[in-house]
A = this chain, B = another copy of it.
Amino acid sequence: MPGSKILRNLNPHVSVDCVVFGFEFGRLNVLLIERNTSFKGKEYHDLKLPGDLVRKDEDLDTAASRVLRELTGLDKIYLKQFAAIGSPVRLKRQARDMEWLRSIGHPEEIVVTIAYYSLINIDQDKAASFLLQPHSRWYMVSEVNDLAFDHIAILQQALEILRADLKSKPIAYELLPPKFTLGQLQQLHEVILGVKLDKRNFRKKVANMPYIMPINEKQIDVSHKPAQYFSFHRKIYEKTKTASFSAC
């Protein structure tokens, strides 16, 4: 069996899967791997999350980084563990998934997977577009309808966490340039939340956020009426958000 030699150093029961979101203006992408397989005389070009078994000599975080690097070329990306998924039937949804596991020498037994997620800015992080391995590519999240195994459920769970993080953490301002327009801020929220937002309501809410402040600068060289630039003030944000009790 071709994979059996490698398999000796792998824990056959534990894998890692990585949901890497790539933000660029106007769209939210996810990094997927094309899996070409033939089953019962038919060719399939399924998509899956980058993932593989964990080695016996590495911890889970190391495994996630290694697997992502090996399968996609993406390196030195901060990956956050967000779930362990271990339903006994998770790999058995489709017969061709199990056939593929057999073909690469992996067991078809229970595999608990530890899921990681990451959010990178494709525009800023040029490495994200150059380093990809063949068969790995960015896909628009809104156009992904089906994935191998239970990966669509894992993607959905990651998306919910990303959306919750957008509401409770200042990640929007890490994706935006230091000075941004309210139009950019709104578009970012629309792309990640997957909904259209009402412009007037949006601006009313921004007006109530003391950590988003106008700066004395407007857009130049634009064909429309130049928009005001704003900036994010982290210290004020942190003070606002920790309106809770802590050691005095």
Contact = CB atoms under 8 A, between A and B. Distances in A.
Contacts of A56: 88, 109-110
A244 B173 CA distance: 13
Given A57-B88, A86-B114, A247 B209 contact: no
Interface in A140-190: 166-168, 186, 189
A248 B202 contact: yes
Contacts of A201: 248
Contacts of A189: 245
Interface stretch (A24-32, A95-103, A191-199, A213-221): A191-199
A167 B63 CA distance: 32
Contacts of A109: 56
5 contacts: A59-B86, A59-B88, A60-B84, A112-B112, A209-B243
A109 B14 CA distance: 13
Given A59-B88, A87-B59, A114-B112, A168 B14 contact: no
B167 A208 contact: no
B246 A167 contact: yes
A13 interface: yes
Given A14-B13, A112-B112, A247 B193 contact: yes
Nearest to A90: B59
Contacts of A193: 245-247
A13 B56 CA distance: 10
Interface centre among A84, A197, A198 (most CB of B within 10 A): A84
A47 interface: no
